[in-house]
Structures are given as C-alpha cells and as structure tokens.
Amino acid sequence: MSSTATAQMASLAVLTALFCATLAASGAAGVRVELTRIHSGLTASQFVRDALRRDTHRHSARQLAASGGAATVSAPTRKNSPGGGEYLMTLAIGTPPLSYPAIADTGSDLIWTQCAPCGAQCFKQPAPLYNPASSTTFGVLPCDSSLSICAAALAGATPPPGCACTYNQTYGTGWTSGVQGSETFTFGSAPADQTRVPGIAFGCSNASSDDFNASAGLVGLGRGRLSLVSQLSARKFSYCLTPFQDTRSTSTLLLGPSAALDETGVRSTPFVASPAEAPMNTFYYLNLTGISLGTTALSIRPDAFSLKADGTGGLIIDSGTTITSLVDAAYQQVRAAVVSLVTLPTTDGSATTGLDLCFALPSAASAAPAMPSMTLHFDGADMVLPMDSYMILDSGLWCLAMQNRTNGAMSTLGNYQQQNMHILYDVGQETLSFAPTKCSTL
C-alpha cells in the first residue's frame, strides 16, 4: 500500500492532496512490535473472498500507476479480522501514549491513524481515537519539511504562515484524509522493552472509508521517505507471520540492529532495483526465476516475472496483500500441476471463496489429501511452501490460494504464502533473507 501526489500507489494506491508536519531528528532507529491477527468467526471461504476483493482493488490500482541507530524498535503483531487478510502491529502515539493497532504494510509509506474529532466519515475502531489536543508532543508538520507531502508542490517557495498540509490518500482498499503531523511514538509491549521515538511524521486522519479491518490506521514499511523504516533509519527489519488458522499466537516485528535470522537453513536473494518513478519506487521487488511442485519444475517462460524498463511486470513481496497473484502464464502452469496431482472433482469456488480452482471433498469433515511442497525459485534462494501455505480448506472445499493476473502485470507474493516464514528485509545490503519457522514460538 502506498502514497503519491500524482498517481495511485501500489499495494495501497495513493492519490495525495497534501498536509504538513515536523520531523524532529531521532537518535533511536530500532523498534520491536508484536504482530497479531484478530479472528472473528468468519469461515475460511468468507475470509478468502473478502481478502481477494481487497487484493483485486489493490492490483487494479497498481495497474493504473503503470542500521543506523542505537536501539531496536519492536511491536507486537497479530492477524486481524473481520475480513482477516492483514496483520496488525501494536504501537502507541502521543504523550501520554495511547496504544492502537495498525495494518503493517510493506507496500506503502504513509503512517496514519484516525484522530479526534472524527465524525460520521470515520470507521469504527477497536481502540480510542487519538486526540492531538490531548498530547503534549503533537506538532503540525511545516509544509516545507522534507517529510511533508506538500513539499514538492511548493517547489522551493516559502509556504504561507501556519501552512497545514492536507492529504486525501486513496488506497486500493479504501481512502483516508486528514493533516500531516509530528508525534512521539512508543514501541514495545513491556515497559522495560519500550522505545520512545520523537518527531515521527504521520497522518492524522479525520475522515476514512470503512475498509481497514479492525485496525485504527496503517503503518507503511515501504522504501519511501515517509515509511517507518525510512524515518527510523532502520537498515533492516524482520517479521514472522503466524499461521492463518492460529487464533491465539502473536509474533513480533523488529526494526533495527536486532532484526536477524538465527535459524538454520536461511536463504537470501537480492532485491531487484525499483523503478525511480512513484509508486513503483516504494516496492520490494524480487527476481522469481521459476516454480516447482514437488520435484517437477513447471514450464514457465523465463521472462514471465521480469520487471520492464517502463515499470510494468516484476514481482514484489507485500505484507499488506493476502493471496499471492501470478501472471497468467505462470498461474496456469501452477493450476495445471495441482490438478494433475489431485483425483478429487474440481469446482469453481469463485462464488464462495473468490478462488478459481477448488476441489470438492467427500464431506465437510473430510481431511485434505497429501500434496508435495511448492518451491518458489528466487535468484540464489529457494522458498519452500508446505501444502498449507498454498492450499486452503473450508467447508468441504479445498482451494489453491493463488490468483492470476494479466500477463505483463505486477505479480505479488502475499502474506498467506509468508505464514510460518521468518523474513528479514536488509535494506542496507539490498537483500531479502528467509527461513521456515514456527512463528508462534518466536
């Protein structure tokens, strides 16, 4: 998900109008945040259908758009619902600090939360509204700040006195609008582990659509200057997403020096250089060279996932998208390989799950048959997905948890395929590392 003043942005397509804030220089560049998913009683088919609806909007928006510190910052993270497609990180804002959950999104940059006063145009959230008037550390970001969305529009001109930069950010899944501000953010769940970081530029929204799923806002973790990663000068960050069927566990997002992989079997692949133009410059591109199912390498043409000079194509990894999407030339090969290994009757699950390929089990209580792992072959590293990370079971339907995109479009590695995978983004070394892990134990 992401933002730009001239084009709709990727994971969250973004049209920006503008707003201001000040960013005080911060000595802390590390954060620890737990990640969690809230469960609501939705069936898996309802969750997938709703998640795919949001993912489709995000992909359409993308098509339109054609360690640096002394401390580690952490945040608890959990799976969210209703709708169940995103992971939420918990952090606190202001002085005194007010805790709130926000969607953790590697596909966008802006950090924002709903602010009081917030009338009928705001969505219902699980946490109290942040009120800037109640915080002793809130400030409006100057229009000419390097972190102001308005800075480019000013083109070096002196802003008028009291300039406040307003934004109207449109994502693939909804929209939000408000004023950019500067605040102290607090990370970490236990008092002994907490880190307070002053001067974070963020969006103070007083109007939003109802599309943000049990959160109170969003935290952009992309490559742009407004993301939390960039503002903390964090040269690396990591997360481990607990399984979708796990209703109790949380995991942790780490930003800063302590973000590391200690498991055996760590694999690393370089990021592909992002296009310079917005919104594509926010994304973490990877070079996917092929896919195997079991020991069978699929016949996918070598350039299927190539990033073109005009910014089209390529594959990104995105924590804010649920279901992996592949260009049709690759998806059809995956689909055919799965069909060839399953003797159950096929059925179109579009009406119930939104997924193209489903199999009808003998009964709702029937177990799914065994399937081999799927391997994503990246440049220099293989990511092995067990059956439960590419198939989903619900109410007698067993479905391929992937969808297809038009050839030449952007492909996306979604968070369903990232579950139980410890992932490290080393933005300093320009590499992504990963290792299969039971995330609930971290």
Q: Tokens 């939003």 belong to which residue?
A: 208
58-81 pLDDT tens trace = 454 444 333 334 478 888 888 776
How high is the pLDDT of residue 65? Answer: 38
Weakly modelled stretches of the chain, pLDDT under 70:
1-32, 34-70, 81-84, 172, 247
Per the listing, tokens 């016949």 go with 299
> Which residues on neighbouring strands pair with residue 89, listed in sequence order?
35, 102
Which residue do the tokens 């990104």 mark?
316
* Alpha carbon distance 259, 353 (integer Å): 36
Tokens 């707003």 belong to residue: 19
In degrees and rounded to multiples of 5, residue 272 shows phi and psi of -85, 135
Q: What is the DSSP letter of 163?
A: -
Among 2.40.30.10, 2.40.70.10, 3.10.129.10, 1.10.287.70, name the CATH number for the domain at 31-255.
2.40.70.10
Which residue has 């096929």 as its token pair? 346
CB 168 within 8 A of CB 17: yes
Which candidate, 340, 356, 367, places its Cα nearest to that of 399?
A: 356
Q: Would you tell me how many other CB atoms lie within 10 Å of the CB of residue 312?
A: 17
Six-digit token pair at 109? 């940059």
Q: Are strands 87-93 and 31-37 parallel, antiparallel or unpaired?
A: antiparallel
Per-residue pLDDT of 261-311, as tens digits, reads 999 999 999 999 999 888 889 999 999 999 999 999 999 998 999 999 888
**Class at the top of the CATH hierarchy for domain 267-437:** mainly beta
- List beta partners, residue 74: 32, 254
105 an active-site residue?
Answer: yes
Share of the chain residues as helix, strand and coil, in percent rounded to the nearest 5: 15, 35, 50
> Which pLDDT score is estimated for 163?
83
Quote the pTM value: 0.85
Q: Quick one: DSSP state of residue 157?
A: P
User: Token digits for 289?
Assistant: 């060279």
For residue 89 the two structure tokens come to 């990180």
Residue 294: per-residue pLDDT: 97
Give me the pLDDT at residue 5, please. 30
The pLDDT value recorded for residue 70 is 47
Which of these is catalytic: 50, 55, 246, 318? 318
- Residue 251 · residue 423 · CB < 8 Å: no
In angstroms, rounded to a whole number, what is the distance separating the alpha carbons of residues 105 and 111?
10
DSSP string, 230-253: HHTT-SEEEEEBPPTT-SS-EEEE
Cβ proximity of 221 and 228 under 8 Å: yes
Say whether 313 sits in a helix, a strand or coil.
strand
Angstrom distances, CA of residue 63 to CA of 60, 172, 284, 329, 406 = 5, 11, 16, 17, 10
Domain parsing of the chain, residue ranges: 31-255, 267-437
User: Which of 384, 390, 420 shows the shortest CA–CA distance to 402?
Assistant: 390
pLDDT of 49 reads: 55
Domains 31-255 and 267-437 share a fold: yes
- Give the Å distances, CA to CA, from 399 to 192, 312, 393: 44, 29, 6
Task: Answer yes or no: 210 catalytic.
Answer: no
- Rounded to the nearest angstrom, the gap between the alpha carbon of residue 43 and the centroid of all alpha carbons in its chain is 22
**Active-site position among 105, 109, 246, 426:** 105
Residues 6+ apart with CB under 8 A from 77: 33, 34, 35, 36, 87, 88, 89, 90, 104, 239, 241, 250, 251, 252, 253
* Of 235, 258, 261, residue with least CA distance to 439: 261
Strand ranges for 192-302 from DSSP E = 195-208, 217-220, 236-240, 250-255, 267-272, 285-286, 288-293, 296-297
Both tokens of 379, joined, read: 């440049």
Rounded to whole angstroms, how far apart are CA atoms 116 and 104?
22
Q: What is the CA radius of gyration of the chain?
A: 21
